[in-house]
Structure 1
Amino acid sequence: MNTITWIFSGALAVVFTISGILKATMSRARLIATGQTGIAPFPMPLIRLVAICELAAVAGLFAPWLTNHARILTPLAAVGLAVVMIGAATSHSSLKEPKSTAANTVLLALATFVAATRFADLFL
């Protein structure tokens, strides 16, 4: 189970590192042109805040668990990513984008799995 959790954490880290960097550096028009259409209804300051949160969560998926300091931050980072994916899936669903909604749902499932397994490792 630990190996699967690390693999899922790595997959989340790759996706959210890319997403966070793009949201932090690109203009609204460029983001929409590259497929991040779910940002359309939101103001850019909120998009930039989400980008920072995504990048912080990436660090939180690994650093606390690997250093054995404040390990509770790892499942909390995964919960944060799950919350972001709920918002993203809702946004894409309202825009009638089933493929993006499905991708968000898969990422939501991965983040939920990582959160659940890391919480279990802490408390069981």
Structure 2
Amino acid sequence: MNVALWIIAGALAAVCLVGSSKMFVPQEKLAAMGSSAQWVLEFSPGTLKAIGAVGAVELLAAVGLILPAVLDITPVLVPLAATGLVLLFARAVTMRLRRGEKATIVGDLVYVALAAFVAWGRFGPMPFTG
């Protein structure tokens, strides 16, 4: 089970790293990436900065899922980061429902389930033991 938790935490960290890249890409470049990125044109620059702040949270979550356990420095941060991701992705599901993007909710629901599994596994029956 420990191996599965590591694999899922690593995959979630990779997803968060990719997601956090929106902090560094200008609105025009995001919109030019194709039809899946056209959503950026529907938001004001201030709202996009707030969304960029979520990118910073994703970056911190990616770090929190991996480094504390690898360095064995307060490994309790791993399930806390996973719990934060559950909340973040649940909020993403809510936003997609409000925007009528029902086709894209499945991915976020999968991320919610994976993050919940990591949080449960690290808090619960198989806490990180080194």
TM-score, normalized by the shorter chain, greater than 0.5: yes
Query: Hey, what does 1:20 align to over in structure 2?
Result: 20
Structure 1 runs of 4+ with >4 Å offset: 38-42
Amino acid at match of 1:112: A
- Report the 3-state secondary structure (helix = DSSP H, G, I; strand = E; otherwise coil) of the residue aligned with 1:12: helix
Cα deviation for residue 106 of structure 1 reads: 0.4
Unmatched segments (≥5 aa) in structure 1: none
Cα deviation for residue 101 of structure 1 reads: 0.9
Cα deviation for residue 30 of structure 1 reads: 4.2
Cα deviation for residue 27 of structure 1 reads: 3.0
Which structure has the bigger radius of gyration?
2
Cα deviation for residue 31 of structure 1 reads: 3.7
Unmatched segments (≥5 aa) in structure 2: none
Query: Hey, what does 1:99 align to over in structure 2?
Result: 103
Structure 1 residue 86 corresponds to structure 2 residue 90: yes
Q: Percent identity?
A: 32
Q: How many angstroms apart in 2 are the aligned matches of 1:29 and 1:64?
A: 36
Instruction: State whether residues 30 and 40 of structure 2, in contact with CA within 8 Å, keep that contact through their aligned partners in structure 1.
Output: no
Cα deviation for residue 99 of structure 1 reads: 2.4
Q: CA RMSD in A?
A: 2.3
Shift in alpha-carbon separation, 1:98–1:59, aligned structure 2, 3 A = same
Cα deviation for residue 29 of structure 1 reads: 4.9
Q: How many angstroms apart in 1 are the aligned matches of 2:30 and 2:51?
A: 10
Cα deviation for residue 49 of structure 1 reads: 1.1
Cα deviation for residue 33 of structure 1 reads: 5.6
Query: Hey, what does 1:66 align to over in structure 2?
Result: 70
From 110, 115, 118, the counterpart of 2:114: 110
Shift in alpha-carbon separation, 1:103–1:39, aligned structure 2, 3 A = farther
